Amino acid sequence: MREIDAKKIQKEREEQSITEKLEGGEVDLSEYVGLEKARFERFSVETIITKLTLGNKPNLTELVCYNNQLTTIDLSKCPNLIGLNFSVNQLTSIDFLKQLPYPEKLTVLKLATPMLRKDWSIYRLLLKKAVLTVPPNSPTKK
């Protein structure tokens, strides 16, 4: 499997008259080693994703987990990530970015989460060329 997109899966289910949404909660993607893209937006799953286990993902380039309740995530085995969107989650630290094997590969980073307004300096250090989404009222927003 190369791509998991909860929104597309949900649309296909609706076309087949399956009305139940995909379950969220704790999602484990460990077995999908060849995965290149994964998208889990809140409106596409029945329950909010609270834990996402990736495992070894050497081909993963894009990870979107928008509007869920993740508090942390392990990206240490994702060497080719170029796009991340963890906006509107429960992240309280950006320490998970320090786990990235090659943070310089990131070109898109979206972390519009009010709890992350404290220290934006790490973004400048890690991501000199990235497109950043900054939460309203953050220190860097003018």
Q: Is residue 135 part of a domain?
A: no
| Residue from 34, 28, 80 nearest 51 by CA | 28
Domain span at residue 93 reads 3-129
Q: Is residue 48 part of a domain?
A: yes
The tally of domains found in the chain comes to 1
Q: Is residue 90 part of a domain?
A: yes
pLDDT in tens, the chain (142 residues): 787 766 665 566 566 655 555 556 788 888 889 999 988 887 666 668 888 999 999 999 999 988 888 888 999 999 999 999 988 888 877 788 888 899 888 888 888 766 665 555 555 655 555 555 555 555 544 4
Q: Is residue 140 part of a domain?
A: no
Containing 4, the helix (H) or strand (E) segment is: strand 3-5
pTM given for the model? 0.74
Distance (Å, rounded) from C-alpha 70 to C-alpha 92? 10
Q: Is residue 139 part of a domain?
A: no
Kindly report the CATH number assigned to the domain that includes residue 75.
3.80.10
